Amino acid sequence: MQITWLGHSSFRIEIEAAVLLVDPWFTGNPMFPEAARAEALRGVTHILLTHAHSDHIGDALAVAKDLAVPVVGIYDLVSYLQNRNGVSGIGFNKGGTVDLGGAKVTMVNACHSSTFGTETGPVAAGSEAGFMIAGEGHVIYLSGDTDIMADMGWMGEYHKPDIGILSCGGHFTMDMQRAAFAAKKYFDFKVLIPCHYRTFPLLAQNAEVLVAALPGVKVIEPQVMQAITL
């Protein structure tokens, strides 16, 4: 399994026979080098979306059309993208599980918002979500944009993820302290990868707080386009 950070909350996850492109935002993403676009998209089989904010679906339609791969996510958002833009999709909902190239992806709750930006203001686009991604003997908890939730208690107990990818930059999501609290209280991660940070000055610029708070967890501060092999 390989997990590659593409900046902000965008990831490339190679697991089983799938290459999942998570929340692709390349255009205008200050963390992503445009010259790396072709390598980031190599072999992608599915586009996995946590919610509709522009810093998460910015390049989803263009990639879906260019590569002829489906967008995968909550039914409302995926249906909208299919009906308005002519892309293929796999829409499901919280509690549902889909098989993506042998990886079992279960949608779980998140606590955030999910809207499209329009000229007249935000328009609701389904609900925000996270995912449990099971394959190759591991379970990845991809939190999506979220705050701490009591739901994390049963999610950790039921799915038993050993790898966490947590949004923790603060302001729009959990900050490092809250992410550390959630990791200690609700999960038993062996590996933790922070995201939704470093992109803008408004967000946390490092994960030192997370590292200090979780001495028994391998906290990996990802580098853009440097694959993490697990």
Give the pLDDT of residue 53.
94
For residue 18, the Cα-to-chain-centroid distance in whole angstroms is 15
For the segment 2-51, what is each residue's pLDDT rounded down to a tens digit? 999 999 999 999 999 999 999 999 999 999 999 999 999 999 999 999 99
Give the whole-angstrom CA distance, residue 173 versus residue 9. 11
Contact criterion met (CB below 8 Å) for 79 and 105: no
Give the whole-angstrom CA distance, residue 223 versus residue 176. 18
For the segment 73-113, what is each residue's pLDDT rounded down to a tens digit? 999 999 999 988 889 999 999 999 999 999 999 999 999 99
For the segment 122-175, what is each residue's pLDDT rounded down to a tens digit? 888 889 999 999 999 999 999 999 999 999 999 999 999 999 999 999 999 999
- Amino acid identity of 197? Y
Give the pLDDT of residue 116.
81
Give the pLDDT of residue 123.
82
Give the pLDDT of residue 120.
82
10 Å CB burial of residue 227 (0-12, 13-18, 19+) is middle
Number of neighbours of residue 185 by Cβ within 10 angstroms: 12
Give the whole-angstrom CA distance, residue 18 versus residue 6. 17
The DSSP secondary-structure symbol of 42 reads T
Three-class SS state of 56: helix
CATH for 69: 3.60.15.10
Q: How far is CA 92 from CA 35, 119, 163, in A?
A: 34, 29, 23
Give the whole-angstrom CA distance, residue 215 versus residue 205. 20
Give the pLDDT of residue 165.
98
For the segment 200-223, what is each residue's pLDDT rounded down to a tens digit? 999 999 999 999 999 999 999 999
Number of domains in the chain: 1
Instruction: Provide the residue range defining the domain that includes 164.
Output: 2-229
Give the pLDDT of residue 119.
80
Give the pLDDT of residue 85.
85
10 Å CB burial of residue 119 (0-12, 13-18, 19+) is exposed
Give the pLDDT of residue 154.
98
